[in-house]
Amino acid sequence: MNDILKPRTIVFIGAGNLATHLAGALYKHGYHIGQVYSRTIEAARTLANKIDATYTNQLADVVNDADLYIISLTDSAFLELLPQIVANKNKNALFVHTAGTVSVDVWKGYASNYGVFYPMQTFSKQREVDFSVIPIFIESNNAENTEMLLTMASAISSNVHQATSDQRKKLHVAAVFACNFANHMYALTAELLEKNNLSFDVMLPLIEETAGKVKTLHPFDAQTGPAKRNDEAVMNEHLKMLAQQPELAKIYQDLSKSILEHHTNK
């Protein structure tokens, strides 16, 4: 690796799910992370101990001479703390955030070198992920910073892309449909089964096959079920069973309508 494109010291602002996995991946590939900041000292300490870094829960104590600051906070916390994050820092430092919906332009007027480093994946601290296949989307304010971020991203993943802020926002909303909404369906499924003394485990082969099919079929072509074939008898029977659970009944109706309309109009 070209050491000119490798930051000597990285600081993580944030120690949540994404920061934990990203910092771990960078550390594993030889990047030096000097410090971790989190609002809670326990979170900062836990991550720092994994990557041989110092830690703090005071923004005023964040070192000011790092080459790269990676901000991985909730959007609201990031926007609130932005002025404090960049205050009195190395004027040549590169600042990047990991948010899906925050524009790269948020840095304008605060930093001279800035960008976005967005790994598109669902992260939980208690579950390991294979970072080598995670799509990482890069954006920055100049070619040199872009090259540094692309080099860093390519060190930990084989799935690296450049994307504008607008494209990244579209990716993020699509990811909410594909991940968060899908997982909510799993949670509702589990509750429905548990109320009837059935185990969620019986659904796992179905879930795995559903996810596996879209690796070889377009999702439109992979769709099956009563809504696609407009089987009103089956759908009405399902709605009768859900009569005592109006929230589930409404979701069932709305999704069935969407599926039917989607396949009728194509």
97-123 pLDDT, tens digit per residue, is 999 999 999 999 999 999 999 999 999
Q: What's the pTM value of the predicted model, to 2 decimals? A: 0.90
| Contact indicator for 65, 51 with CB cutoff of 8 Å | no
Angle (deg, nearest 10), helices 143-156 and 17-28: 80
Question: What domains sit in the chain, N to C, each tagged with a CATH number?
Answer: 3-163 (3.40.50.720), 169-264 (1.10.1040.20)
Assess contact for 100 and 172: CB atoms under 8 A.
Answer: yes
112-116 — which CB contacts under 8 Å span 24+ positions? 113/140, 113/141, 113/142, 113/145, 114/140, 114/141, 114/145, 115/139, 115/140, 115/141, 115/145, 115/146, 115/149, 116/140, 116/165, 116/168
The per-residue pLDDT for range 186-234, each reduced to its tens digit, is 999 999 999 999 999 999 999 999 999 999 999 999 999 999 999 999 9
pLDDT of the chain, 266 residues: tens digit per residue: 445 578 889 999 999 999 999 999 999 999 999 999 999 999 999 999 999 999 999 999 999 999 999 999 999 999 999 999 999 999 999 999 999 999 999 999 999 999 999 999 999 998 999 999 999 999 999 999 999 999 999 999 999 999 999 999 999 999 999 999 999 999 999 999 999 999 999 999 999 999 999 999 999 999 999 999 999 999 999 999 999 999 999 999 999 999 999 998 76
Going by C-beta distance under 8 Å and a sequence separation of 6 or more, which residues neighbour residue 158? 132, 133
